[in-house]
Amino acid sequence: MKLLVVSGDELLDTSIEFLADHLKSGDLLVVNDAATLPASLHGYDARGNRLEVRLSGQLDERIWRTVTFGAGDWRTPTEDRPSPPRLKEGEEITFAGDFRARVLRENNLSPRLIDLEFGVSGEEFWRDIYVHGRPVQYSYLNDGLDLWSVQNVYSGRPWAVEMPSAGHAFTWRNLLWLAEKGIRIVPLTHAAGLSSTGDIDIDRALPLDERFDIPAATMQAITRTKARGGRVIAVGTSVVRALESSRYGLTGFTDLKIGPEHELEKVNGLLTGTHDVSESHYQLLQAFAPVTLLERMSRHLEERDYLTHEFGDLCLILQPGAAG
């Protein structure tokens, strides 16, 4: 798998197998250990209209923020999907048998963004989700995804509705090589949300509020790393968002939007997938590098045929002055 290393003004083509060569002993990698849920559910409204519901984030034991889609599935680009039926407060959606949910409210942002209260909770809810749900995926893929294929090797709590994909290239062998070089790896959990809905108003607002939980031991490792002159490298944009929200506490929901005006406090570098300039992820990258450099990166990625979706190639961006 290709890796583009961006350090200062230098662009270097390499591969993920040589990531350790571009880090140094004493650096710290922070990973998002959230496991990916089967967050796509197909069902029918009270009038028999077929629709798809994609979980966006859990608000309470039974209540989830969701995004609705019209008939069809992932094989059709999200922006080309037909509009879903307008759902009324109190209306019931049936997914299978007794697995149902009631519409609580529409979000002011869009009638497609709704809060649903599921009729079951606890063990029953999780059983139904894993029996009837499928991983969220997009039309650039040729085949349907299995749930195992959207998990990172260190995945733990089932919080993410889309894969925290910057870690997808890691194997236990990669992680062992990093550890042998003196590069420590610590986790946090961030409920990575939907990356695209096909609704202009929702997509413009992404990322929505997302839950995070940072272990005290992870924050202690960050403090020690910085005190010793090491670098903190976030594996994925969800890790950046969680760490930069830690000024408000180590657990909760974050509505932090990171862009060019944001001064990074916790993070010195980012391992990330490649993203289109229209995506919210690209806005976050501007906290790490100026637009002129990001434009050079984009041209370079295209000229060298890097793969640019969540199962594609990766970039390591080190802040100026953070080179090893």
> Same structural domain for residues 191 and 275?
yes
Identify whether 24 is part of a domain. Answer: yes
Separation of alpha carbons 54 and 190, rounded Å: 18
**Residue 133: exposed, middle, or buried by beta-carbon count in 10 A (0-12, 13-18, 19+)?**
buried
> Same structural domain for residues 79 and 24?
no
> Same structural domain for residues 293 and 281?
yes
Identify whether 137 is part of a domain. Answer: no
Q: Which of 132, 156, 183 is the last residue of a domain?
A: 132
> Same structural domain for residues 301 and 224?
yes
Tens digit of pLDDT for each residue in 159-217? 999 999 999 999 999 999 999 999 999 999 999 999 999 999 999 999 999 999 999 99
State phi, psi for 127 to the nearest 5 degrees. -60, -45
Running along the chain, 324 residues long, what does each successive block of 10 average in pLDDT? Answer: 92 94 96 98 95 96 97 91 93 96 96 97 96 94 91 96 94 93 97 94 93 98 96 96 95 93 94 72 89 92 86 88 48
Provide the CA 62 distance to its chain's centre, in angstroms. 22
Identify whether 138 is part of a domain. Answer: no
Q: Which of 132, 163, 192 is the last residue of a domain?
A: 132
Nearest CA to 22 out of 165, 236, 231, 241 is that of: 231
Q: Do 232 and 226 form a contact (C-beta atoms < 8 A)?
A: yes
Domains contained in the chain, number: 2
Please tell me the total number of residues recorded for the chain in this structure.
324
Tens digit of pLDDT for each residue in 52-77? 999 999 999 999 999 999 989 999 99
Identify whether 324 is part of a domain. Answer: no
Can you name the residues that pair with 55 across neighbouring β-strands?
66
Domain of 122 in residue numbering reads as: 40-132
> Same structural domain for residues 192 and 270?
yes
- pLDDT above 70 covers what percent of the chain? 96
> Same structural domain for residues 73 and 27?
no
> Same structural domain for residues 165 and 310?
yes
Between the CA of residue 148 and those of 1, 34, 40, 131, 290, what are the distances in Å? 20, 13, 15, 14, 37
Identify whether 323 is part of a domain. Answer: no
Separation of alpha carbons 243 and 188, rounded Å: 9
> Beta-carbon neighbour count of residue 192 at 10 Å?
27
Supply the pLDDT for residue 324: 45
> Same structural domain for residues 224 and 311?
yes
> Same structural domain for residues 10 and 86?
no
Identify whether 94 is part of a domain. Answer: yes
> Domain of 276: which CATH number?
3.40.1780.10
> Same structural domain for residues 102 and 161?
no
> Same structural domain for residues 27 and 70?
no
Separation of alpha carbons 101 and 64, rounded Å: 10
Supply the pLDDT for residue 276: 61
> Same structural domain for residues 219 and 304?
yes
Identify whether 185 is part of a domain. Answer: yes
**Residue 17: exposed, middle, or buried by beta-carbon count in 10 A (0-12, 13-18, 19+)?**
middle
**Six-digit token string for 288:** 């790490």
Identify whether 309 is part of a domain. Answer: yes
Nearest CA to 84 out of 58, 111, 116 is that of: 111
> Domain of 84: which CATH number?
2.40.10.240
Q: Which of 132, 166, 196 is the last residue of a domain?
A: 132
Separation of alpha carbons 317 and 236, rounded Å: 11
